[in-house]
Each structure stands twice: as structure tokens, then as C-alpha cells.
Amino acid sequence: MVRLFFLILCVFTVSCGGLDPESLPQTATVSGTVVIVGGRTAWPDSVLEMRVVLFDQKPSAPDSVIAAIVGNKAAYTDTLPRFVDSCTYSIAISKPPHTFTYAVVAGRTGPNLLKDWTMLALHTEESTPSVPATVVVMEGAQVVVDFNVDFAHLPEQPFQ
Amino acid sequence: MTMLHHSVIMKLSIRTMVVVALFCCVAATVKLVASDVRGLITDRKSGDPVSGVTVRLATTRLGAVSDSAGRFVIKNVPKGTHTIEFNRIGYRPTKIVATIRLDQEDVVCTLLPTDLQVQDVIVSANRRVQAVQDVPISVSTVSAVDLDQRNITRLDDALRYVSGVTVVKDQVNIRGSSGFALGVGNRAMVLIDGFPLMSGDNGDIKFDVLPVTDIEHIEVIKGAGSALYGTGALGGVVSLFTKKVTDQADMSARVYLGGYTLPRYASWRYSESIPIQGGADVRYAKRFGDVTISASAGIRTDQSYRDFDASTRGVLFAKGTWHMSDVSQLTLFGLYALHVGENFLYWQDLQHATRPPTSQDPDQMLQSEKAASALEWQWIADNHTSVIVRTGLFRTHFENTLNNVTLDSNTSTAYAWNTDVMVTSSLSNAFTLTAGMNGRVNSVSADIYGSQLQTIGSLFAQGEYAFPSGPIVTAGLRVDHEKTASLSPHLEYSPKLGMSWALSPTTTVRASVGRGFRAPAIAERYAKIRYGPFQVRPNPDLLAESSWSYEAGIHWTPADVAIPIDLDLAVFNNELFNLIEPRFDVNDPNVPIVFLNITRARIIGTELTVKSALSKALMFESGLTLMLPRDLVLNQTLKYRNNVLWYSRCIVKPVDPLSLQVEYRFQNRVENIDNSLEAFIPDADQRVPSHVVDVRAFWTFSTQSGAALQLGIIAKNVLDYYYTEAVANLSPTRSIALQIEYR
């Protein structure tokens, strides 16, 4: 009886199983620098917060920004610092590979979290600056995407 | 406004206590003249006297417990023929028929010992003492022997091995009734000696207030219990009973110390030193003439297996009973608990599962206090009628502090006042009526909930008829009237109907149907709070949720078999209406969480419990619960529910003073959670099945003074299996503790 118990005990004391952080796909990141054209003095007071947002699909309406975030169809940063010349950002992509077709710096210009969003900078093709560029993130990749925010010349908005 | 609420509650409490005290003085003068039944109980094999036997006169409130010489006395027994029932763990339940003619009759009973614990005596199912087989619904018990053998340090540890029950962050979930509700609005009622311990604001259970060393046994009623217990008993009832006090002084003390082993993954080691946990409990109880006193204190500190999760808890409990006469007694109890700790809400991500998000302020602490006091008067009015009047107040307070300064944004003080009046009468040998009224007032003052008052008044009645051919039929109805500031007063009707039938001495069948309901907790209706990354928005229009529970079961204890075995099989169906669930409101600019009556659900399942004693040295128990929880609105599996729960326990006693215990708990992977959480919490969807093994070993010595000294090693989660019970919360990793107890 005692032998049986200690046999069971030996089996049990072998550590095993369950959640494993090392089994997760190797985390990929999208990171870069956001440069404010004109420096810190160029910031208008009306921009209440600023984030980098990577959308699976180009948002079709103002409220699709939040819908995409809640619906896990976008990756995004915390609020980035305002009234600075530039700042860096980093977004961990939890389930690579992943393709984002619309990468922007988004600014909230009013109290309505749902609707008051303006695109401040757009990641575009080098050859055709008005066309959104796709960001493909493979497993373990460290993708760099930089933005220039020019408050005097905002990109074409996805919605009006 | 709030001070007025609290003042009203205090006045009501004082007034009720005065009325109870006056009743007691009147009752103390009552002394009925009738026959006294004296008895001797012995062991059929050894001939030794048997102490601690519960002796009960069937269909009456009269009864006694045998003393150390195996003797008992039941006073004021009416002359005539009576069935006397004898129950004690370790012996087969026995009934004898006795005819009482003289002023004093002597009865002798011999009990047959059994290795298997069968036919527990329970109180909660119909709010009176009954054999578990006589009630029409599923009831699980954690007996005094169970609690004693396992020597647990937290009462939720005892509930974790009750079939069909899961415990997640102080929320008791019976047969899938509860999901993940941010810690508010529990769907199981928790009582201590009949007094509800549900907080007035969150409507939740506070396990850290429960005096673990004072608890004698626990009863878990599965399925809607609102017909007798009202709001909160939607999924069932967990009833705790404190220990009886005897003539002999009973003193115990316990100290335990241990730690968590370091996790296998380097990224989870928030410290290179082993996190320590430890605690101590002490209890003293004795009878002084007509008064019995018990008092206990406990402290527990835990550095935790997670960073920013350390806590210290203390609890004080005292209970005094004045045995005013043979037919009446007055009991007063009070408890106080303090918890100071860090506040781990969810992990940073799976890679850093033992660390909170970097945005969480490490200097922020959570402090909570709970205090309760209740007065109970029991009176046996005549040979067939008894009265219980109970009133009490439960105060809870919590606050967040930053560098020892209270943060105004998260504090709450709540008072829950509860008064019960209940009469049980055996109107004939076959018919027992239980009826009463109940009043509850929840008063809350909180910056996160506002000043709120919720009152619930109830009337209930239940009849039990025992047919001569065997079936016992139960029918009851409870009417609750709820009033709050934001909704017009409304009534809830909770009927129940049940039947149990002992087909033979070894086989009992049962069936029941009943309605349950739960009035929303004040927190669910009025919370305006930031909970981690979430905003919670009030919904004052939230309605009560309700359920209909259907169950059929069979209990079988085969006689004359080589291996004693006890089987219980149940099938159940719970239909849930207006189920209250937290949901993201994506139409609101702030995307807050709101509690909504959104779901119509159905949980169909079956439960099999097997107990066996291969010998005195080897006992085994296993419970398997299979469930199909469906959200009928979304036509998918109900969120945060398991499909399979399988708990098994084995106790081996290779040599007399040594007891080895192994417990295994399996829960299948939760199939469905709210995917929106992933937008706020990294890796929120990471979850696996649970395989948890706990092992205990105890060695008991007898000292020369007759006291016992017990040494124990308690290892929890010895497999060091990593799993979650709540979203983004790693459950406790392997811990090992040494324990010394004197009793």
C-alpha cells in the first residue's frame, strides 16, 4: 500500500503540462519613430491623443476604428506623448504571420472616442505616396515602420 | 441619505433584537411536562458505547446527541408510538420504533459499524434536520470528518472537491450557474448557521471572513433554492455549520508555513527567492453552566506565486449560546476580518503571466474589512412545533490606497441586514409545514455605486407529506418583493415541487422542479468604475434573472456486498432567463462594460458520485459532472462554462497514526469566452484543461494529557500544472507547507 502511494507520489511530483509561454509563436513586433514635422510647436491643441494603429482593413467609417480595435482587427499602441518633436513606438503582434493593409498614426480631435478620429500620417508605398502600403509581419520579424506627421498636410482621410 | 439608510438599518436591527429578547424571556418560562426518553447506544461488534450519535424523533424537532458514555436523554416526548432515528458517521443509519407509556422510558440501540460514510444528516435542503436521502434534490456534504481529515486552511479548498462545484476568485459556481462576472453577483447563496454572508454591494461571498477552525460541516444544495432562500439561491446554496460546544473544554491551535516552488519558466520568475506563505489559527470552546462559548482567531500571510499579489488576512470569530431552558436557546455570534493586499487583476501577457501590466501602479493597495453580528433564538414551542428568529448585520468596506492614502475613486461601504422568522410544525405524523418571513435591506455608500438602498421582503411556506406507501412529497412557494430607487417595486414567485421515495432500504429515487431568481446586486446596477483597463457603466434598469431547475436522481447503497459502495446519479436541466452577463457596449464612445439581461440559456447535465471504502485503510470518492451549457440567443456554448468536471479523492491509512490523501481535479478547457477581452488583455484567450493534484500526509501523536498533536505535509498542485480559472489569471502553482496542530 505504502509502495503504491509513493509510486503515485513519484509520478505526481514530475512537473508537467499546462500553459507554456515558450510554446507561443515567437513574438513579432512593428516598431518605428513618429516624427512631427515642424517639431513640438507644430502641435495643435485640438489633438487630444495620438496612437499608431495597424488595421487589417482600411476603416470605412469613423466608428470602425473602435470596432476594429474591439473586434481584434487592429493592433495599436497606447497613447503616445504629445507636444514632442518625435517619439518611438512598438507594437507586439501576438499571432504572426499577419498582414495589415492600412497603417496610420491616428489622432483623436474631440471627446467622442467613437467618432472623433483623424488620420495624421499614413504608411504609403514609396513609389505612390497616396496609396496605403501593406505591412506583412512574419513570425519573429522586427518590422520597422516610420511615420512623419505633418499637421499642415494631413493624408487623405478614409472617411469624411 | 446614506447615513439615513445606515441609521434605519441600525434601528431595525436593535428593534428586532429587543423583540427577540422579549420573546426569549417569555419562552424561558415555558416548561412542558411529558415523558423523558433515556437511551444507551453501543457498537454492535465491540459492545462499546458510541458517542456523538445524532438521535432524532422522526417528524418532530425533538432530539439529542449521545455523550461519551453513549447515553442520551430526549425530554418532553409525548406518549405514544414513535420512530427514533440514529445517525453517526462510521455506522449504518438505524431506526427503531418505541412505544412511550411511562413518564420515563429506557431505550437501547446497537449500531452496525461501516467503513463507508453514508446517509448524512442535513439541515439546509428543507431548513430542518433530515436524512440526505429524504430530500428531493441533490445535496453534497463536506462532513466534519472530511474537514478534520483534510485539515484545510481555506474553506474554498473544501468546496473545490464537491462534485459539480467550481470556485473561481471567491465565486462559487454550482453546475455551471455562474460565469465570469468581474467578481460581483454570485449565483449561490452562502450561509453560516443560517445567516447569509453576502455583501450588500457586490452580492458576493467573502471566503476570508469564514472561521475555518469553527466550521463543523458544509452542505451544498445544487439547483434553484429560492423557494426557501430567496434571491441569490439561483444556482444553489452553500450552508456552513459551526461546531457544537461540549462540556469539556475544546482547544486547538495550528501553525503552518510553506512556500511556492519556483516556476519552470524563467520568464515567470519574478523573484529568485521562494515566495512564502504561512498562518496560524487558534480556537477555544467550553460550556459554562447554561452558556456555551466558542472563540477563534486566524491570520494568514501569502507572498504569492505572482508579483504584486501579496496579501495578509486576519479573522476573529466568537459565538455564545445561552441554553435558557430545555426548549429554548439564544445564540449570538460575531466575526471580523481584515484583508490588506496588493491587487493583481490580470497578467501582463502569457510570457509574463506572474506579473501585472506595466501600467499598474505597484504602490496601489487594496484594503477591505468585514464585520458581522447575528442573534438567533430557537424555541421548541411544543412537541411538534419549533420557532427560529434570526437577525443580523453584515458590514463590508473596501478601499484602494496609494502610498497609504485612500483613493476616492474606489471605495465602498455596505450594510446587509437580514431578519428571518421561521416556524416548523409537524401537523401530523405524516405532514410537516415550514413557513416564515424574511426581510433584507442592502444599504451602500460608495463613490463607485452612489448611495443606494435595496429592500427585499419575503413570505415562504413549504409542506412535506410522507405517504404511508413511502414517497415524501414536498411543495412550497416563496414570494419576494424587491424595491429599489430606480425600478418600480416588483414581485418574484418561486414555487417548488419535489418527491423522494425510498424504494427499498438500499435505493432511493428523487425528482424535483423549482424556480430560482436573483435580484441584481447593487454593483451590477449602479457601478461606475474603472476596473483595470475597463470602464463599467451603470444600468439601473437591470432586471432580476431567473431559472427553472429540473432534476431526477437515484441513490443506491447496495447491502451485503464485499466492498461497501455508495452511488448517486442525477440528471438535471436548468433553464435560465434574463441571465445577467457583462458585455462591451461598442455603441458607446468609451466602449464600457455594462451588465445586461441578455442571455437565455440552458444547462443540461448529469452527475455521478461514487464513494467506496475498500477497507478501513483505503477510502475512495469520485464525482463526474457532464454539462452542455448553451446560450440560446447566440446559439453557442455559454461563455466561461466547463463541460466536464471530474474530482476524485483517495485516503490511505497504511499504519494507524499515518494518513495519506491524494486529490485529483479535472476540468475541461472552457470552450467559449468573450473574444473582445483580447482587445484589452494580451493572451486573454490562452487557456487549457485543468489537471490539479493535491497530496497531504498527516501523522498524529497522542500526548500524555490526552490531547493530539498532528504533523502534516500539504502539497498543492504537485504536478506544477499551469492553468487558468479566471481569464488572464494564472492559477496557483505548486506549493508545499508544513503544518503542526494541537487539539
Check CB contact under 8 Å for A19 and B353: yes
**Chain B residue nearest residue A11, CA to CA:** B719
> Is the separation of the CB atoms in A119 and A158 below 8 Å?
yes
The 10s digit of each residue's pLDDT in A74-91 is: 888 888 999 999 999 988
User: How many A×B Cβ pairs under 8 Å?
Assistant: 92
- CB-nearest to B695 from A2, A12, A24 is A12
The whole-number pLDDT of residue B180 equals 74
- CB-nearest to A12 from B591, B682, B718 is B718
The whole-number pLDDT of residue B122 equals 65
The whole-number pLDDT of residue B33 equals 47
Is B404 among the domain residues?
Answer: yes
Check CB contact under 8 Å for A18 and B723: yes
The whole-number pLDDT of residue B161 equals 87
Both B558 and B655 in one domain: the answer is yes
The whole-number pLDDT of residue B26 equals 42
Statement: residue B688 has pLDDT above 60: yes
Between CA A160 and CA B145 the distance in angstroms is 72
A16 contacts chain B (CB < 8 A):
yes
Both B99 and B178 in one domain: the answer is no
**Chain B residue nearest residue A25, CA to CA:** B351
**What is the pLDDT of chain B when averaged over all its residues?**
86
Best A4, A10, A11, A15 residue to mutate vs chain B (most B CBs within 10 Å): A15
Q: Tell me what the mean pLDDT of segment B271-282 comes to.
A: 94
- CB-nearest to B719 from A15, A112, A113 is A15
Round the CA-based radius of gyration of chain B to a whole number and report it: 25
Task: Grade residue A21 by pLDDT with cuts at 50, 70 and 90.
Answer: confident
Domain locations in chain A as residue ranges: 24-149
Both B375 and B523 in one domain: the answer is yes
Both B310 and B442 in one domain: the answer is yes
Q: Total structural domains in chain B?
A: 2
Both B94 and B157 in one domain: the answer is no
Between CA B195 and CA B533 the distance in angstroms is 36
Q: Strand B94-100 and strand B729-730: pairing?
A: unpaired
Give the DSSP H or E segment for B5: helix B2-28
Write the DSSP symbol of residue B403: T
Between CA A30 and CA B63 the distance in angstroms is 75
The whole-number pLDDT of residue B676 equals 77
Between CA B171 and CA B173 the distance in angstroms is 6
Residue A97: CB partners within 8 Å, gap ≥ 6? A28, A136, A137, A138, A139
> Is the separation of the CB atoms in B221 and B159 below 8 Å?
no
Residue B685 dihedral angles phi and psi, to the nearest 5°: -85, 0
The listed range with the strongest mean pLDDT (B323-327, B370-374, B462-466) is B370-374
Check CB contact under 8 Å for B617 and A1: yes
The 10s digit of each residue's pLDDT in B401-411 is: 887 777 766 78
- Output the nine-digit C-alpha cell for B284: 477555544
- Output the nine-digit C-alpha cell for B144: 466534519
Between CA B449 and CA B200 the distance in angstroms is 11
Is B376 among the domain residues?
Answer: yes
> Is the separation of the CB atoms in B346 and B358 below 8 Å?
no
Both B126 and B76 in one domain: the answer is no
Distance, in angstroms, between A25 CA and closest chain B CA?
Answer: 11
DSSP line for B39-56: EEEEETTT--B--S-EEE
Which residue from B548, B643, B644 is spatially nearest to B223, judged by alpha carbons? B548
Q: Is the pTM of this model over 0.80?
A: no
ipTM: 0.74
The 10s digit of each residue's pLDDT in A24-62 is: 666 788 999 999 999 999 999 899 989 999 999 888 887
- Output the nine-digit C-alpha cell for B605: 447535465
Check CB contact under 8 Å for B683 and A94: yes
Distance, in angstroms, between A115 CA and closest chain B CA?
Answer: 7
Between CA B134 and CA B743 the distance in angstroms is 35
Check CB contact under 8 Å for A17 and B676: no
Between CA B36 and CA B276 the distance in angstroms is 57
User: How buried is residue B562: exposed, middle or buried, by Cβ count under 10 Å (0-12/13-18/19+)?
Assistant: exposed
Check CB contact under 8 Å for B265 and A1: no
Check CB contact under 8 Å for A16 and B722: no
Which of B111, B138, B161 marks a domain boundary? Answer: B111
Task: Grade residue A66 by pLDDT with cuts at 50, 70 and 90.
Answer: confident
Q: Tell me what the mean pLDDT of segment B35-39 comes to.
A: 85
Interface of B with A (CB under 8 A): 264-265, 267-268, 349-351, 353, 359, 584, 586-591, 617-618, 652, 654, 660, 662, 675-676, 678-679, 682-683, 686-688, 691, 693, 695, 718-724, 730, 734
Distance, in angstroms, between B634 CA and closest chain A CA?
Answer: 17
Statement: residue B158 has pLDDT above 80: yes
Check CB contact under 8 Å for A17 and B722: yes
| Torsion, CA B668, CA B671, CA B674, CA B676, rounded to 10 | 110
The whole-number pLDDT of residue B499 equals 94
Distance, in angstroms, between B358 CA and closest chain A CA?
Answer: 12
Domain encompassing residue B75: 31-111
Is B480 among the domain residues?
Answer: yes
Task: Grade residue B210 by pLDDT with cuts at 50, 70 and 90.
Answer: confident
The whole-number pLDDT of residue B463 equals 93
Between CA B610 and CA B588 the distance in angstroms is 51
Residue type at position A129: P
Check CB contact under 8 Å for A5 and B590: no
Task: Grade residue A10 by pLDDT with cuts at 50, 70 and 90.
Answer: low
Is B277 among the domain residues?
Answer: no
- Output the nine-digit C-alpha cell for B50: 458510541
CATH number for B408: 2.40.170.20
Statement: residue B730 has pLDDT above 90: yes
Which of B111, B138, B171 marks a domain boundary? Answer: B111
Check CB contact under 8 Å for A9 and B695: yes
Check CB contact under 8 Å for A19 and B359: no
Q: Strand B593-615 and strand B565-584: pairing?
A: antiparallel
> Is the separation of the CB atoms in B239 and B123 below 8 Å?
yes
Distance, in angstroms, between A110 CA and closest chain B CA?
Answer: 11
A144 contacts chain B (CB < 8 A):
no
Q: How many CB atoms lie within 10 A of CB B696?
A: 21
Between CA B324 and CA B25 the distance in angstroms is 9
Residue B15: CB partners within 8 Å, gap ≥ 6? none
Both B83 and B9 in one domain: the answer is no
**Chain A residue nearest residue B720, CA to CA:** A15
- Output the nine-digit C-alpha cell for B110: 446497537
Statement: residue A70 has pLDDT above 60: yes
Q: Fold for domain A24-149?
A: Immunoglobulin-like (2.60.40)
Between CA B623 and CA B52 the distance in angstroms is 28
Residue B629: CB partners within 8 Å, gap ≥ 6? B176, B601, B602, B603, B637, B638, B641, B643
Between CA B250 and CA B248 the distance in angstroms is 6
Write the DSSP symbol of residue B9: H
The whole-number pLDDT of residue B593 equals 86
| Torsion, CA B220, CA B223, CA B228, CA B231, rounded to 10 | 100
Statement: residue B29 has pLDDT above 50: no
A26 contacts chain B (CB < 8 A):
no
| Cβ-based contacts of B589 with chain A (< 8 Å) | 66, 111-115
| Cβ-based contacts of B265 with chain A (< 8 Å) | 20-22
Task: Grade residue B570 by pLDDT with cuts at 50, 70 and 90.
Answer: very high
Least confident among B177-191, B288-302, B618-632: B177-191
Which residue from B427, B424, B428, B430 is spatially nearest to B462, judged by alpha carbons? B424
**Chain A residue nearest residue B583, CA to CA:** A70
Is B504 among the domain residues?
Answer: yes
Between CA B54 and CA B64 the distance in angstroms is 6
Both B596 and B713 in one domain: the answer is yes
The whole-number pLDDT of residue A110 equals 86
Which residue from B663, B705, B600, B729 is spatially nearest to B249, judged by alpha carbons? B705
Q: Strand B236-242 and strand B188-192: pairing?
A: parallel
Q: Tell me what the mean pLDDT of segment B198-222 comes to.
A: 86
The 10s digit of each residue's pLDDT in B40-88 is: 999 888 888 887 777 887 766 677 777 777 888 887 787 778 888 887 7
Number of H helices, E strands in chain B: 5, 43
Between CA B387 and CA B330 the distance in angstroms is 12
Between CA A76 and CA A69 the distance in angstroms is 8
- CB-nearest to A66 from B265, B586, B686 is B586
Beta bridge partners of B372: B335, B394
Residue B343: CB partners within 8 Å, gap ≥ 6? B308, B364, B365, B366, B400
- CB-nearest to B721 from A17, A21, A112 is A17
Check CB contact under 8 Å for B722 and A19: yes
Between CA B140 and CA B145 the distance in angstroms is 14
The 10s digit of each residue's pLDDT in B429-459 is: 788 899 999 999 999 998 888 899 999 999 9
Residue % of chain B over a pLDDT of 70: 90
Which residue from B570, B668, B571, B653 is spatially nearest to B614, judged by alpha carbons? B653
Which of B53, B82, B111 marks a domain boundary? Answer: B111
Both B560 and B617 in one domain: the answer is yes
- Alpha-carbon B663 to chain mean position: 20
Q: What are the start-end ranges of the E strands in B247-363?
A: 250-260, 276-288, 291-302, 311-322, 328-342
Q: In this predicted model, which residue has the larger pLDDT, B14 or B718?
A: B718
Both B143 and B64 in one domain: the answer is no
The whole-number pLDDT of residue B666 equals 95
Least confident among B93-97, B291-295, B528-532: B528-532
- CB-nearest to B720 from A15, A27, A114 is A15
Percent helix, strand and coil across chain A, each rounded to 5? 15, 35, 50
Both B424 and B535 in one domain: the answer is yes
Q: Tell me what the mean pLDDT of segment B376-391 comes to.
A: 89
The whole-number pLDDT of residue B155 equals 82
Check CB contact under 8 Å for A15 and B723: no
| Cβ-based contacts of A69 with chain B (< 8 Å) | 679
Residue B457 dihedral angles phi and psi, to the nearest 5°: -115, 140
Both B170 and B143 in one domain: the answer is yes
Is B287 among the domain residues?
Answer: no
